[in-house]
Amino acid sequence: MRKSLYLATVALASIIALTAGQASAADGYKVVSGPGYLPDCFKSFPSSKFFQWPQRPGPYRIALVNGYVGNAWRIQMIKNAKAFAAEPGIKDQIKEFDVVSTGTDVAAQVAAVDNYINQGFDAILTDAVSPAGLAPVIRRANAAGVVLLNFDNRADSDKILQVNVDTFEMGRIQGRWIVDNVKPGGKILEVRGLSGTGADRDRSKGFHEVVEGSGKNYKIIQVFGNWDTGTSHKVTADAIAVEGHFDGVADQGGSDGALQALLDTHHPMIPIAGEGENAFNQMCAKYEPEGLKCLAVAAPPAISSVAIKAALSALQGKVMPQDIDMPLPVTTAPNFKEGVSFFPKLGGSFFVDNTYPACGVDQSAEDIMKQAI
């Protein structure tokens, strides 16, 4: 009887220890106390836990499993990652860096992650196709001791590292600016991103939270532009053909396409909140004297480089925030200036706000764009 009671007590103590902070061996990491490594770079969201993996010797095999690749942001993001992985001081830490894009098929992304787990890769980076899409492989990655890190599109999990901007706040920033610049009762076109992704979901929620909460009775028309210039142009032009007139536009990405649609349809100049593409910023400066008013809030594609740096740090046994919060650069009229917020010699789709100095991430446009997809 005493032996049974003793064993039960030991088992209960083990359960308490696990729930109090020590992850099981199957998780591959420990939950530890902060602060984390390089807090100026890896700033934690307020509710973040802190993880620590056992230190392992390098160089490391790292994979990037991207989902959708059909817009300029994703292309630059991949090129950013490749340029960073080739930098002096970084390339010596990486034995192999592999990139694959799986499209919008959740099962394909999961299969690709599984493939890299089975190949024995040390870390796998993902840009999740859907918030819940990674659930089937999280346990398998953790059990294998693989550092699984998701960035850009939030995954609904606190069992993996994540590197993100505050996508809710991106929507709120656009929403606050629209409320400040569009008359009460006005009609607003919301050009959303890629349907089903966490970033689109959260940015739209943040936008509606502010605009609908303003009490100014705005009418919001939603379309999906896939964060792509061509698609944003088409859906904006179609919306104008149906609705006739808008009092403001909030576009998540491919914003130069939405602005060009306003120009092509001879729509009056109205406030437009967009993302920080080079062409959008340049157009904002060009047409400001004609009454155009703009805001650009950017999610820099260089977040992929920060993800690589975070994965390397985790593999080296550093204490890491589970949920890393990256800053959001914002430009508003009349601050769209050549040589600062746009560069005529760069391609129109290049994202200009694309550095993280606190993380040592500051690749030149030339180094980025010469990379192959």
Q: Which helix (H) or strand (E) holds 323?
A: strand 323-326
Tell which CATH classification among 3.90.25.10, 3.40.50.2300, 3.40.640.10, 3.40.50.10210 matches the domain 24-165+301-326: 3.40.50.2300
H/E element, 10: helix 2-19
Domains in the chain: boundaries: 24-165+301-326, 167-297
Amino acid at 94: I
**For 145-203, where are the E strands, in sequence order?**
147-151, 161-165, 187-192
**What does DSSP assign to residue 290?**
G
CA distances from 241 to 31, 229, 264 (A): 54, 18, 12
Instruction: Answer yes or no: same fold for 24-165+301-326 and 167-297.
Output: yes
Match domain 167-297 to its CATH number in 2.60.40.10, 3.40.50.300, 3.30.70.240, 3.40.50.2300: 3.40.50.2300
Instruction: Give the residue among 343, 345, 309, 340 at the shortest CA–CA distance from 324.
Output: 309
pTM of the model: 0.88
CA 141 vs CA 102, 145, 164, 319: distances in Å: 18, 6, 20, 19
For each of the chain's 373 residues, which pLDDT tens digit applies?
433 433 333 333 333 333 334 444 457 899 999 999 999 999 999 999 999 999 999 999 999 999 999 899 999 999 999 999 999 999 999 999 999 999 999 999 999 999 999 999 999 999 999 999 999 999 999 999 999 999 999 999 999 999 999 999 999 999 999 999 999 999 999 999 999 999 999 999 999 999 999 999 999 999 999 999 999 999 999 999 999 999 999 999 999 999 999 999 999 999 999 999 999 999 999 999 999 999 999 899 999 999 999 999 999 999 999 999 999 999 999 999 999 999 998 889 899 989 999 999 998 888 998 999 8
